[in-house]
Amino acid sequence: MGEWEEEPAGGYRLDGGGVRFRAGDVLSLECPLTETTVASVSRYYVSVRWPWNDVDPEAHSFRWNGVTALPTPGAFDWDRTYFRTVPAETELNAGDTCLVGIAPTVVHIASVHHFDPPLVTGMLPRPACYLEILRQGEAHDPELEDQGYALDPVGAEPIRIELLFRPYAFLEAGDEVVDHDGRAWRFDGPWDWHPFDGQQTAIPAWPLQLLSRNGDPAPEDTAAVTQQTRTGSHEEELQRWTRLALAEPSTDQP
């Protein structure tokens, strides 16, 4: 990843507080470059003073020292990390001043995890939610336990998050619909459809009619689903997602 222009911190603030993210969302991420200092350098990592989070004094089981280790290109987890330094990690020495941030990056969400109470990590604020994100071009592999990057959408880092595309944005998990062919389905995610008749065909035929959303759906919700599926198809939703994510969606997303 090359260098990118520094922007004033006040110009970026994620909108995660107003968006309930879900698996399948395609996002654009960006975090303005912020000045910090290099605490130490090892063969595969550069540790920098993290300029955003505070130490959690009540986290007795997790003692964070205010330093975060960023991988160099030779580290196994280089591609799993989005924060980069300027100058590049390989050019830094202990005591150097550098910038750290995220260049504009497109990702997609593999899964969303909620924590109540918020998770104790040693840092403040404590995350109440993590998005497991994958890079553009990377498909979710259900066989891998540690594939994505865990991002707190409302954490201390001033990350700007833009929702680029949400497949089936007009449906909610648990919705029940009937399709053009008269088949009833339950929607659990854009690529996670369950036909009530038990047949193997896993793609609903548009247009769709909303039957249930936590009971009887509101008239405006029913009208919205009908309007949004009057044209188009499941295949077009898939094609649009694939063009942005540059990957094939997993049919086994959590």
pTM exceeds 0.95, yes or no: no
Q: Is the residue at 20 inside a domain?
A: yes
Q: Is the residue at 58 inside a domain?
A: yes
Would you say 245 and 23 are in contact if contact means Cβ atoms under 8 Å apart?
Answer: no
Structural domains in the chain (count): 2
String of b and e for 215-235 (b: at least 16 CB within 10 Å)?
Answer: eebeeebbebbeebbeeeebe
Question: Given this model, what pLDDT does residue 251 score?
Answer: 65
DSSP letter assigned to residue 168: T
| Strand residue runs (E) in the chain | 26-41, 45-49, 54-55, 67-71, 84-86, 97-114, 123-124, 129-135, 149-151, 160-165, 175-178, 184-187, 193-195, 209-212
Q: With pLDDT > 70 as the criterion, what percentage of the chain qualifies?
A: 91
Lowest mean pLDDT among 12-16, 197-201, 222-226: 12-16
Q: Are residues 148 and 69 in the same domain?
A: yes
Q: Where residue 18 falls among pLDDT bands split at 50, 70, 90?
A: low
Q: Are residues 20 and 123 in the same domain?
A: yes
Question: Given this model, what pLDDT does residue 209 score?
Answer: 98
Find the domain containing 224 and state its range.
Answer: 175-245
Q: Are residues 147 and 180 in the same domain?
A: no
pLDDT, one tens digit per residue, over 128-151 is 999 999 999 999 887 777 789 999
Question: Given this model, what pLDDT does residue 6 score?
Answer: 35
Q: Is the residue at 217 inside a domain?
A: yes
Q: Is the residue at 15 inside a domain?
A: yes
Q: Are residues 62 and 133 in the same domain?
A: yes
Place of tokens 């090892």: 42
Q: Are residues 138 and 221 in the same domain?
A: no
Q: Are residues 29 and 144 in the same domain?
A: yes
> Could you tell me the two tokens for 87?
């100058």
Q: Are residues 203 and 90 in the same domain?
A: no
> Could you tell me the two tokens for 34?
């912020």
Question: Given this model, what pLDDT does residue 9 score?
Answer: 31
Q: Are residues 201 and 142 in the same domain?
A: no
Question: Given this model, what pLDDT does residue 132 score?
Answer: 94
Is 70 exceeded by the pLDDT of residue 11? Answer: no
Question: Given this model, what pLDDT does residue 1 score?
Answer: 34
